[in-house]
Structure 1
Amino acid sequence: MVKRIEKTKIMHRAVEHNGIVFLGGIIADDVSVGMHGQTQQICRKLDAVLAMAGTDRTKLLSAQLYITDMAQKEEMNAAWLEWLDGGDLPARATIGVADLGSPSVLIEVVVTAAA
């Protein structure tokens, strides 16, 4: 069975199938702040969407972090590690991209978790 959670105009925030929860890309609401602040906002949003799906950050399996400036990767890593317990780290890739739709959007995060 496929369970879809929180429909938007273009996608569902999360889709669960066979005990795996796939989240769509999440960006910060306030993109006037820097990489650290945007990453913190995204992590709070991830908590909320994961909770709607009946799971949490301790069950993350993988993460893809798309960032527009690799020079800011350490700021992103700092916020990421503030959010995650070092024992529950997912498999992860950080991918440099030229554009995330707006010059102010510095990062977009996609995760997969166990239900």
Structure 2
Amino acid sequence: MTTNSFNLATLAFVSGVSGILLGLAVRHKTNEIKYFNTSLRASAMVIHNDTVYLSGQVGKINQESQALDGDIQQQTRETLDKIDKLLAEAGTDKTKILSTQIWLKDIKNDFAPMNEIWNNYMKSCGDTKTVRACVESAMARPSILVEIQVVAAL
């Protein structure tokens, strides 16, 4: 084996090992968990590895009455605005939503008007389609008409 052949073989071997190590480093995940807007009961958002988990979000709470104002469409818009802000804080956006869970107080009357706002919200995401479930549920406060929880990729 000539010196040039030896040097090329050594370089190829070292490059291959370096590539493998770099690949392992890139794929390495940490067990670090970041909590945001934490209260005694829960966090508004948790990030683990490359996934963002949001708690169920609701529209704006009127500080004076401690109730939510507006109809299903207003509350849905406000809720989606809160979700957008939290996703931005995490460094992602609605185009990376993986899964959505929606709770409606009155699915019979509110499903169609909520979906009108939802469809408009997701329209800018192109072919991105989250998996989604929508169910009827009693709410924590009588004035809450909709609650939405999402999981998104970073």
| Aligned-partner Cα distance in 1 for 2:127–2:37 | 29
Note if contact 1:64-1:111 (Cα within 8 Å) is conserved in structure 2.
Answer: yes
5+ residue gaps, structure 2, are 1-31, 62-67
Quick one: percent identity of the two aligned structures? 32
**Alpha carbon RMSD of aligned pairs, Å?**
1.2
1:16 is the counterpart of 2:56: no
Q: How many angstroms does 1:81 deviate by?
A: 1.2
Q: Which residue of 2 aligns with 1:106?
A: 145
Structure 1, unaligned stretches of length 5 or more? Answer: none
Moved more, 80-89 or 52-61: 80-89
Give 3-state SS (helix, strand or coil) of 1:27's partner.
coil
Counterparts of residues 36-55 of structure 1 (less than 5 Å): 36-55=73-92
Give 1 or 2: higher strand fraction: 1
Higher RCO (CA-CA < 8 Å; seq separation 6+): 1
2: CA distance between counterparts of 1:91 and 1:100? 23
CA distance in 2, matches of 1:94, 1:27: 15
Give the TM-score, by structure 1 length: 0.92
Of 125, 132, 135, 1:92 maps to: 132
Deviations 1:36-66 (A, max 9, x none): 1100000100000001111110000000000
**Cα separation, 2, equivalents of 1:40 and 1:9:** 27
Query: What secondary structure is seen at the aligned counterpart in 1 of 2:86?
Result: helix
Match in the other structure for 1:66: 103
Please tell me whether residue 75 in structure 1 is matched to residue 124 in structure 2: no
| Alpha-carbon separation, structure 1, partners of 2:40 and 2:117 | 29
Q: TM-score, normalised by structure 2?
A: 0.70
Q: Deviation at 1:87? A: 2.0
